[in-house]
């Protein structure tokens, strides 16, 4: 199976950025753990701080892959453009948030992405990505 992970803005700083909220592990290190845990899965990883680049990637892989695991980061709460891109594609998508956005500031409580995702995983740390992959493999 082909599964893509897409991370949005500031997630290139995982491990360094607010470690009390997002943990101490870099995504690069975690991605290597995922690759060794799921050796039969063709896993790809893309990160961008730029909304349009994320949309280009969603469109590029969105008719070909078996699943997309997306953490849109702050664009979760603002981006109708990313929501529309997900509506346009055929690949099912799971939304992941490392922190529990519902226990944080009010402006993080609403997601434009949840309505167009198969499901959403929040607050389980990096394990959320692992669980999303397991879901796609069970299909």
Spell out, one character per residue from 2 to 31, where the chain touches ligand DQA: x when CB under 6 A holds, - when not: --------x---------------------
Should residue 76 be labelled a site residue for ligand DQA when binding is judged by CB under 6 A? yes
User: Which entry of 30, 65, 75, 97 is annotated as an active-site residue?
Assistant: 97
Strands (E), 2-129: 2-7, 42-47, 67-71, 93-97, 119-122
- In the complex, the smallest distance separating the C-beta of residue 131 from ligand DQA, rounded to whole angstroms, is 14
**75 is known as an active-site residue:** no
40, 41, 80, 88, 126 from 1: Cα distances, Å: 8, 5, 29, 21, 21
Check the annotation: does 56 bind a ligand. Answer: no
Should residue 1 be labelled a site residue for ligand DQA when binding is judged by CB under 6 A? no
Should residue 101 be labelled a site residue for ligand DQA when binding is judged by CB under 6 A? yes
Task: Check: CB of residue 49 under 8 Å from CB of residue 9.
Answer: yes
Q: Which residues pair with 46 in a beta bridge?
A: 6
Should residue 116 be labelled a site residue for ligand DQA when binding is judged by CB under 6 A? no
**109 is known as an active-site residue:** no
Alpha carbon distance 100, 80 (integer Å) = 21
Alpha carbon distance 75, 49 (integer Å) = 10
Should residue 34 be labelled a site residue for ligand DQA when binding is judged by CB under 6 A? no
Which residues are designated catalytic?
22, 97
Q: Which residues bind ligand DQA (CB under 6 A)?
A: 10, 71, 73-74, 76, 97-99, 101, 108
Output the known binding site.
71, 77, 84, 98-99, 108
């Amino acid at each position: 199976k082909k599964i893509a992970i897409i991370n949005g803005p500031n997630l290139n700083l995982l491990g360094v950025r607010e470690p009390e909220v997002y943990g101490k592990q870099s995504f690069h290190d975690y991605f290597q753990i995922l690759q060794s845990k799921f050796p039969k899965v063709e896993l790809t990883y893309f990160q961008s701080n730029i909304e349009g680049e994320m949309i280009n990637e969603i469109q590029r892989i969105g008719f070909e892959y078996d699943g997309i695991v997306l953490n849109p980061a702050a664009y979760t709460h603002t981006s109708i453009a990313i929501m529309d891109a997900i509506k346009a594609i055929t690949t099912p998508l799971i939304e992941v948030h490392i922190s529990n956005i519902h226990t944080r500031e009010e402006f993080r409580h609403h997601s434009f992405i949840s309505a167009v995702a198969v499901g959403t995983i929040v607050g389980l740390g990096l394990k959320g990505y692992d669980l999303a992959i397991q879901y796609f493999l069970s299909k």
